[in-house]
Amino acid sequence: MLTNERDGQIGVVEGKIKIIAPKGGGKGAALYPPEEGGVIYVNGVELEKQITCDSQDIVTLEPTTYMEDARLEVKISPDGLNALAAVFPRRVVTYQLKDTPLCASLKPQLEKSEKVEKLLTLEQAEQELRKQNVLHGLSMAALNELVKTANGEFNTVAWGLDKQEGKNGRLEFVVNHEVEVINYEEENTRADFREKYRYPSVKKGDVIAILHPPEEGKPGQRVTGEVIVPKPVKAAKVRCGEGTEFADNNKDIVALKDGRMIVAGYHIKVVNLLVHKGDVNMESGNIRFNGDVRIFGNVTEGMIVEASGSLIVDNNCYGATLNAGSGIHVGKNVVKCDVQGGTFFALLREVLILVNQLTEELDGFIENLKQIFKGLAEKGQKVDNAYLKRIIKMLFEKSNGLRDTLMLLERRLEQNSFSYLDHTKEAIESLQAFFSLDMEKCNPDELIKSLKIFRTLSEGYHEELKELPLLSISYTQNSNIRHSGHIEITGAGSYFSSMHAGGEVRVQGVFRGGTIKAESNVKVNEFVYISTAAESGEKKDAIRIKVPAQSAIHFNLVHEDTTVQVGKMVYRFDREYSKIKVSFDPQEGLLKLTNL
């Protein structure tokens, strides 16, 4: 039996959606929204999901149009040395409904078409780069290529100039100045373990170091036009000490004598060195040496070791006397010894005070002499050589401070064995020769010359005293230790020893009994109060540590009954304290305990 039933149909014919209504109870055609490219409206309502359509429905399509304007994008590298750019063309994207045969359902397909137009000109691209702060190193050729291709790919169009860092001045050592530990395995020679070190030596006239001047850097420029400034350069610091001087080229440093080169910070000197391989005992005799001393052994009872430079003892010292102009290092124990280090620096401190005093007195003397000359000139009185000598003699006799300081300085340096102070002795002799007035013609300008020399000497001594050598001992017992610089006890500590330092005192271990006096801070790991038999009978507490008011005393652990003095203030610990600092509070006028 035939039926007239027919489902509805829908399709796209000549770019328009066509709907055929169903017949005889058939199903209506289904319409789905498109995936992209446009929006379908059914009876004026946007189609968001599948619906069943009828031929009466009004179905319209609103195609989507996308447009991107031509543009230029810029990326500047973090260091500002490169600018990358990309030129994008104008893009217009349109969609057109594709014809689809009639069927029961329709999901419209829209055909995409794209139009690309290279609209950005070279001039416009350059202007855009300038707007985005690309001001230096622009390559017009590279930019023109980007404009031609306009493919949106980033390429470098501007290059900055990187800075060139300069070089600090440096000191080049021509010879090795470090003590060399002999490695017999490397040298493939028969081992003699009594020979442990090798000290490099220099000869008089050798170039031992070269001072290289600093080299200035060159500035750079970022693509933004900003100048890149290189770091400032510094000249190398160097001070020629004993046994060294600059050559005529002010670059090479030469040795003035045979010996050992020593470098401490920026100080260079050449000194003599005495090495004693063994114990200092009755067989070797006392050792007195004008230079550095190194002892690969012990210093036994009753023996004396004196060095005008530094003193190093690898092992122990028992009942001995040690004296050094510079630092002292004892690798092991010091028992019942008298130790004094830094005598050169102690002397230098005294000389510096006298030189400063002499400079002040001499400056006043010159000023008084000028006033006398001025008064005579105003009277129109001429001063011949004989009259000049009488004036200087009379003024010198009245200048008690100048005469006394000159005499004290001369006496203090009479027994001087340190060649470093020879210049001071020469300056004193020159000044004394002037005031003796034995010269045929008296020239007051010599006084001004002497004043400049003493001022220069004062500056040099002040610099020398900035870096004091260290006195270090592993352990000390029943010994007297004095040093113009810092004292450091590096091992177990100290037992019933006295210490007097021109700088700090640092005790890593336990300090039992004894006393400490320092011109700077004192730092003790553990301090144990033990009184002597004589002190036990006295009611007054014995002061164990003394420091100036501007310094402090540090304890990791301090036991009861320990008495300390900071400035003029005294404090006795009534119990055990740990991690404590004792200092003077100038505002309160009292000692202050602070936890570390």
Q: Which of 54-63, 346-355, 505-514 has the lowest mean pLDDT?
A: 54-63
What is 333-352 written as a DSSP string? EEES-EEEE-HHHHHHHHHH
Selected residue with higher pLDDT from 490 and 192:
490
* Confidence label for 432 from pLDDT (cuts 50, 70 and 90): confident
pLDDT band at 180 (very low <50, low <70, confident <90, very high): low
- pLDDT score for 471: 95
Instruction: Give the highest mean pLDDT range of 278-287, 437-446, 582-591.
Output: 582-591
Alpha-carbon span 479 to 72, nearest angstrom: 85
- Lowest average pLDDT, out of 212-221, 397-406, 480-489, 543-552, goes to 397-406
pLDDT of residue 64: 86
190, pLDDT greater than 90: no
As a whole-number percent, the residues of the chain with pLDDT over 90 amount to: 44
DSSP string, 55-91: TTS-EEEEE-EEEE--EEEEEE-TTSSEEEEEEE-EE
For position 517, what pLDDT does the model report?
Answer: 96
pTM for the structure as a whole: 0.55
> Minimal CA–CA distance to 513: which of 471, 479, 556?
479
pLDDT of residue 388: 84
Flag whether pLDDT at 457 surpasses 50. Answer: yes
Amino acid at site 550: Q
pLDDT at site 467:
84
pLDDT confidence of residue 200: 65
Reported as a pLDDT band with limits 50, 70 and 90, residue 194 is: very low
Mean of per-residue pLDDT scores for the chain: 87
CB 289 within 8 A of CB 271: no
Confidence of residue 536 (pLDDT cuts 50, 70, 90): low
Pull the structure tokens for residue 188. Answer: 């493939």
Taking 70 as the threshold, does the pLDDT of residue 527 lie above it?
yes
User: What distance in Å separates the CA atoms of residue 117 and residue 124, rounded to the nearest whole number?
Assistant: 15
Query: Helical H runs in 329-464?
Result: 343-378, 385-398, 400-412, 422-436, 445-464
Would the pLDDT of 195 be above 50?
no
Q: What's the mean pLDDT in 346-371?
A: 91
Say whether pLDDT at 129 is over 60: yes
**Calpha distance 26→28 (Å, rounded):** 7
pLDDT of 488 higher than 90: yes
DSSP collapsed to 3 states, 507-525: EEEEEECCEEEECCCEEEE
Average pLDDT estimate for 361-378: 88
> What's the pLDDT at 315?
95
Burial 287-300 (b: 16+ CB within 10 A, else e): bebebbbbbbbbbb
Cα–Cα distance list, 501 to 16, 344, 486, 562 (Å) = 108, 14, 6, 20
CB atoms closer than 10 angstroms to residue 242: 20
Q: Extract the tokens encoding 168.
A: 């600090």
pLDDT tens, 26-52?
A: 888 888 999 888 898 989 898 889 988
Of 316 and 435, the structure prediction assigns the larger pLDDT to: 316
pLDDT of residue 314: 94
Residue 192 pLDDT: 44
The yes-or-no verdict on residue 582 having pLDDT over 90 is yes
Beta strands in 259-310 (DSSP E): 260-264, 267-271, 273-276, 287-289, 292-295, 304-307
| CA-derived radius of gyration, the chain | 47
- Range from 64-78, 176-190, 249-263 carrying the lowest mean pLDDT: 176-190
Q: For the sheet containing 82-88, what is the strand order?
A: 71-76, 82-88, 155-159
* Residue in the structure block whose two tokens are 């404009």: 147
pLDDT at residue number 182: 56
Residue 126 pLDDT more than 80? yes
pLDDT of 538 strictly over 70: no
Q: Are the C-beta atoms of residues 449 and 434 closer than 8 Å to each other?
A: no
337: pLDDT confidence band, cut at 50, 70 and 90?
Answer: very high
Across 453-457, average pLDDT: 92
User: How many Cα atoms are found within 13 Å in the side-chain-facing hemisphere of 316?
Assistant: 10
23 token code pair: 């017949």
**What's the pLDDT at 3?**
59
pLDDT band, very low/low/confident/very high, at 377 (cuts 50, 70, 90) = confident
**297, 329 Cβ separation under 8 angstroms:** no
What phi and psi values does residue 529 have, to the nearest 5 degrees?
A: -80, 125
Give residue-wise pLDDT tens across range 133-170: 999 999 999 999 998 988 889 999 999 999 999 999 99
Tell whether the model's pLDDT for residue 188 goes beyond 70.
Answer: no
Q: pLDDT > 70: what percent of the chain?
A: 93
Which amino acid makes up residue 462? Answer: H
